[in-house]
Chains A and B, each alone.
Chain A
Amino acid sequence: MADYYTAYLPLLAILALGVGLVVAMFTSNRLLRPTHRTAEKMLTYECGVDPVGEGWAQSHVRYYVYAYLYVIFAVDAVFLFPWATVFGGLGWISVGEMGVFIGFIAVGLVYAWRKGVLTWT
């Protein structure tokens, strides 16, 4: 078990190094850069004219149905990975079971397709 966790030590090390790299970059940036703050420069960019309203505008998120589809399939993928490493020894029955599982979801995709959800309006 201890070995299992030591395998992840280099990842922590590289993450720490990476954060250090970013910090070093911005420290040298701080030492080298000029700073002339003006009100105009800090304005939000909107093609050179004064910004209208605020940037967090409401907009129509058209793809929320895609988001549902994505979540369903993503959960499926999580089951798929552990199964992928063992199913060779389990044979046809295991493949059949996974086929039923993925088949159900695929039918869902076909249903969404037929209902015209996948057509951009």
Chain B
Amino acid sequence: MAELVEVLLRVAVVLLAFLVVPLLVGQVEHKAMAHMQSRVGPMYAGGFHGWAQLVADGVKFVQKEDVVPAAADRTVFKMAPAVALLPYLVAMVAIPIGPGLVGQDLDIGLFFVVAVMGVGVVGTLMGGWSSANKFSLLGGIRVAAQLMAYELPFVLAAASVAMAAGTLSLTGIVEAWNPWWLLWQAPAALVFFVAGLAELQRPPFDIPVADAELVFGPYTEYGGLRFALFILAEYAGIVVLSALTAVLFLGGWHGPWEDQVGWLWTLAKTGLVAFVVVWVRVAYPRLREDQLQRLAWQGLVPLVLFQLAVTAIGVVVMSS
């Protein structure tokens, strides 16, 4: 019985984090991006520097009409936002923020999280296909192309960490982490972060939703609450990607006084990576489709194959 209560408690905390942290990232994006562009961003909602802007957005979205185009494939169209959103919730269960501070520590945590993150993209594909709209279809095809190009370096970079740690458990990986991984695994970290950005279709890899040519890509026909779920999925994705980057490559809870405030270190590193995600959006222009494919196949894949070789040699040299 006590076990069941504990499980429910952990799951409830994860759900709470899932509802709060993506909004925090969204607010940081509003404000940080505004200041980088010499604007002030939202200032009115909630009184103090527009802190309640996204809450106000949520209240607005929930009151909006539910429009499904007559030509659309209704069932798939309606399911797509949930399929896009829920995988990130499930992924968050497996990500540890401290020793024992995890929704559920899985033996194959790394494999599980990477697999589940791939499902999120299917939601976008479903939206693109079921809208029966030319912009949506083109956007969906671009999403598919991008997924195929970047899923591979993403997974191989994760495999490099698994090789270095000798385990697939995320807790085990953080425990095996050593500061010199910052150098040894640096190419994998870079590949993982860049490929993760591309999987989330974040700028500069946002060609599937390129507003100047495709209106809003796969989301063109979406409005109201369903649209809000897609946007929430994007920010939940940023949280999951940042947390994974922090846990796999930046040492998670390792840092000064890690016995007392280890979980704070994980959160701080996650926040830092999330800030970089926002920063990259402001700093770089959108990649063209061919540039995108070239970066993946002729840049990231060879780089991560090189990293796999370096990791393998490093592990055997150290263990012998």
Q: How far is the CB of B171 from chain A (nearest CB, A)?
A: 13
Dominant SS at the A interface? helix
Q: How far is the CB of A121 from chain B (nearest CB, A)?
A: 9
- Which residues from 55 to 93 on chain A have a C-beta closer than 8 Å to any C-beta of chain B? 55-57, 59, 61, 63, 66-67, 69-70, 73-74, 77, 80-81, 84-89, 91-92
A46 to B134: give the CA distance in the assembly, Å.
Answer: 8
User: Across the two chains, which residue of chain B brings its CB closest to A47?
Assistant: B215
User: Across the two chains, which residue of chain A brings its CB closest to B6?
Assistant: A10
State whether the Cβ of A2 lies closer than 8 Å to any Cβ in chain B: no
User: Across the two chains, which residue of chain B brings its CB closest to A17?
Assistant: B15
User: Across the two chains, which residue of chain A brings its CB closest to B81?
Assistant: A22
- Bitwise, B115-148 to A at CB < 8 A (1) or not (0) is 0000000000000010111111110010011001
* Chain B contacts for A45, CB-based, 8 A: 69, 133, 135, 215, 220-221
Whether B305 and A106, one on each chain, are in contact in the complex, defined by CB atoms closer than 8 angstroms, is yes
Interface residue count on the B side (C-beta < 8 Å): 79
Which among B66, B69, B148 has the highest number of chain A CB atoms within 10 Å?
B148
Whether A81 and B297, one on each chain, are in contact in the complex, defined by CB atoms closer than 8 angstroms, is no
Say yes or no: A42-B67 contact (C-beta < 8 A), given A14-B14, A61-B141, A85-B167. yes
Q: How far is the CB of A101 from chain B (nearest CB, A)?
A: 11
Whether B155 and A84, one on each chain, are in contact in the complex, defined by CB atoms closer than 8 angstroms, is no
* Interface size class, chain A: 35 or more
* Chain A contacts for B105, CB-based, 8 A: 7
Whether A7 and B167, one on each chain, are in contact in the complex, defined by CB atoms closer than 8 angstroms, is no
A20 to B33: give the CA distance in the assembly, Å.
Answer: 34
- Which residues from 264 to 309 on chain B have a C-beta closer than 8 Å to any C-beta of chain A? 289-290, 293-294, 297-298, 301-302, 305, 308-309
Whether B148 and A70, one on each chain, are in contact in the complex, defined by CB atoms closer than 8 angstroms, is yes
A25 to B149: give the CA distance in the assembly, Å.
Answer: 34
Say yes or no: A11-B93 contact (C-beta < 8 A), given A70-B148, A88-B319. yes
Q: How far is the CB of A95 from chain B (nearest CB, A)?
A: 5
Whether A29 and B67, one on each chain, are in contact in the complex, defined by CB atoms closer than 8 angstroms, is no
Whether B15 and A14, one on each chain, are in contact in the complex, defined by CB atoms closer than 8 angstroms, is yes
Whether A77 and B224, one on each chain, are in contact in the complex, defined by CB atoms closer than 8 angstroms, is no
- Which residues from 43 to 87 on chain B have a C-beta closer than 8 Å to any C-beta of chain A? 62-72, 82, 85-86
State whether the Cβ of B166 lies closer than 8 Å to any Cβ in chain A: yes
Q: How far is the CB of A21 from chain B (nearest CB, A)?
A: 7
* Chain B contacts for A19, CB-based, 8 A: 82, 86
State whether the Cβ of B191 lies closer than 8 Å to any Cβ in chain A: no
State whether the Cβ of B8 lies closer than 8 Å to any Cβ in chain A: yes
Say yes or no: A14-B297 contact (C-beta < 8 A), given A29-B225, A35-B65, A95-B316. no
Other-chain residue from B111, B137, B155, B168 in contact with A59 (beta carbon distance below 8 A): B137
- Which residues from 1 to 27 on chain B have a C-beta closer than 8 Å to any C-beta of chain A? 7-8, 10-12, 14-15
Whether B86 and A89, one on each chain, are in contact in the complex, defined by CB atoms closer than 8 angstroms, is no
State whether the Cβ of A113 lies closer than 8 Å to any Cβ in chain B: yes
Q: How far is the CB of B43 from chain A (nearest CB, A)?
A: 27
Whether A120 and B319, one on each chain, are in contact in the complex, defined by CB atoms closer than 8 angstroms, is no
- A to B CB contacts below 8 Å, 18 in the list: A7-B106, A15-B86, A17-B11, A19-B82, A28-B62, A36-B65, A44-B71, A55-B136, A55-B137, A57-B137, A70-B151, A70-B152, A81-B110, A81-B168, A84-B162, A91-B320, A95-B312, A109-B302
- Which A residues fall within an 8 A CB radius of B? 7-11, 13-15, 17-19, 21-22, 25-26, 28-30, 32-36, 39, 41-47, 51, 54-57, 59, 61, 63, 66-67, 69-70, 73-74, 77, 80-81, 84-89, 91-92, 95, 98-99, 102, 106, 109, 113, 118, 120
| Contacts A39-B70, A77-B152, A81-B111 supplied; 10 other A-B pairs, CB < 8 Å | A10-B10, A18-B15, A18-B86, A22-B85, A32-B63, A44-B131, A55-B131, A81-B168, A102-B308, A118-B293
Nearest 9 CB-CB pairs, A to B? A120-B290, A55-B132, A42-B70, A10-B104, A84-B163, A84-B162, A70-B148, A18-B86, A18-B89
